[in-house]
Amino acid sequence: MSLKQGLKFGIDVEEKVTWGMDTCTAVNFMTIIPKDLKPDEKSHFVQQKLTYAIQQQGEKGYDVRRALKYIIQADLSDEILKTKYKPEDKKIASVMLDAIKSLPDGHGIHFKIHTKGVGIFCRRKEGFKINTLVVEYFGEIYRPWHWFEKQDVIKQG
């Protein structure tokens, strides 16, 4: 591998806020998915498909309703999205969104999405090519609250 094959920060990859959910939230999501799905299918939807949609929301990743709408409105003729979602995923997302909307105010706290800090994401529409070497990260790793404290100090500096 030559040095010219490396990915460029800001062109090929970017730094973005990352989002995730705790186990309790994941279980709560799985309880509102239609009962005809098997447990492993529910888990796959929440951990893979919903999490991907959450990451696509950028700074507004905390709002799971936006992520569910992203799945519902996904253009399945798009090369990337048709590998991520199927028509039945849109139905699952729609059922979940209706269930969350029907909850009384304040009950949405059971579906909390949390920031997990900042991560590096591929900016290329086509993603990484097969057999692309992704090397380990050599920087510092911070807990989310420590990272934001550090960013505040840098901004004040």
Q: Could you tell me the pTM of the whole model?
A: 0.72
Q: Which of 71-85, 117-131, 135-149 has the lowest mean pLDDT?
A: 135-149
pLDDT value at position 44? 94
pLDDT value at position 128? 74
**Number of domains, the chain:** 1
Instruction: Please give the radius of gyration of the chain, using alpha carbons only, rounded to the nearest integer.
Output: 18
Q: SS3 of 3, please?
A: helix
> Side chain identity at 145, as an amino acid letter?
W
Whether the predicted pLDDT of 4 surpasses 70: no
Q: Between these two residues, 29 and 139, which has the higher pLDDT value?
A: 29
Q: What's the pLDDT tens digit per position in 106-141?
A: 566 678 888 887 777 777 777 777 777 766 655 666
Domain hosting 59: range is 3-156
Average pLDDT over residues 137-153: 67
**Is the Cβ–Cβ distance between 46 and 29 less than 8 Å?**
yes
Interatomic CA distance for residues 52 and 47, integer angstroms = 8
